[in-house]
């Protein structure tokens, strides 16, 4: 392989490793999120209904990230803790940013449901 091919391959592998690591949550972070849910917080699944029906965390409300704007009233008071998750972390990050921008005070980004 040429030098430029090796460089591109290394960049690609680095991006994959970064993506895998960036979606992980520490045990302490997950513990805080579990406590928030146990204390009455909302577990919010922002995947598609098909993904949700294929398996989800117990007690989670499913509102796809693209539908959040029109369904904010379903989340309850803005002071309520919300733990957001999706399949890999991209949609949950977008949803978390959107919810915070719309006045929700305690929003936690779980990232992937596998972090639970």
- Residue 94, H or E segment: helix 90-101
Instruction: Give the residue with greater pLDDT, 22 vs 107.
Output: 107
Q: Yes or no: say if 100 and 58 are a contact pair by the CB < 8 Å rule.
A: no
Q: Yes or no: say if 60 and 39 are a contact pair by the CB < 8 Å rule.
A: no
Instruction: Give the residue with greater pLDDT, 48 vs 21.
Output: 48
Whether 10 is a known active-site residue: answer no
- Residue 35, H or E segment: helix 27-38
pLDDT in tens, 30-87: 999 999 999 999 999 999 999 999 999 999 999 999 999 999 999 999 999 999 999 9
pTM (2 decimals)?
0.81
Angle at 13 between CA 52 and CA 9, to 5 degrees: 135
- Which residue ranges form the domains of the chain, and what is each CATH number? 25-115 (3.40.250.10)
Instruction: Determine which one of 36, 63, 65, 86 is catalytic.
Output: 86
Percentage of residues in the chain having pLDDT higher than 70:
89
């Amino acid at each position: 392989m040429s030098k430029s091919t090796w460089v591109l391959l290394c960049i690609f592998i680095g991006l994959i490793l970064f993506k895998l690591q960036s979606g992980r949550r520490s045990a302490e972070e997950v513990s805080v999120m579990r406590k928030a849910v146990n204390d009455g917080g909302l577990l919010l699944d922002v995947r598609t209904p098909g993904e949700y029906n294929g398996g989800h965390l117990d007690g989670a409300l499913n509102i796809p990230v693209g539908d959040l704007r029109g369904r904010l009233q379903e989340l309850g008071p803005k002071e309520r803790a919300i733990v957001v998750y999706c399949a890999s972390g991209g949609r949950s990050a977008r949803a978390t940013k959107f919810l915070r921008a719309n006045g929700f005070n305690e929003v936690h980004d779980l990232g992937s449901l596998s972090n639970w």
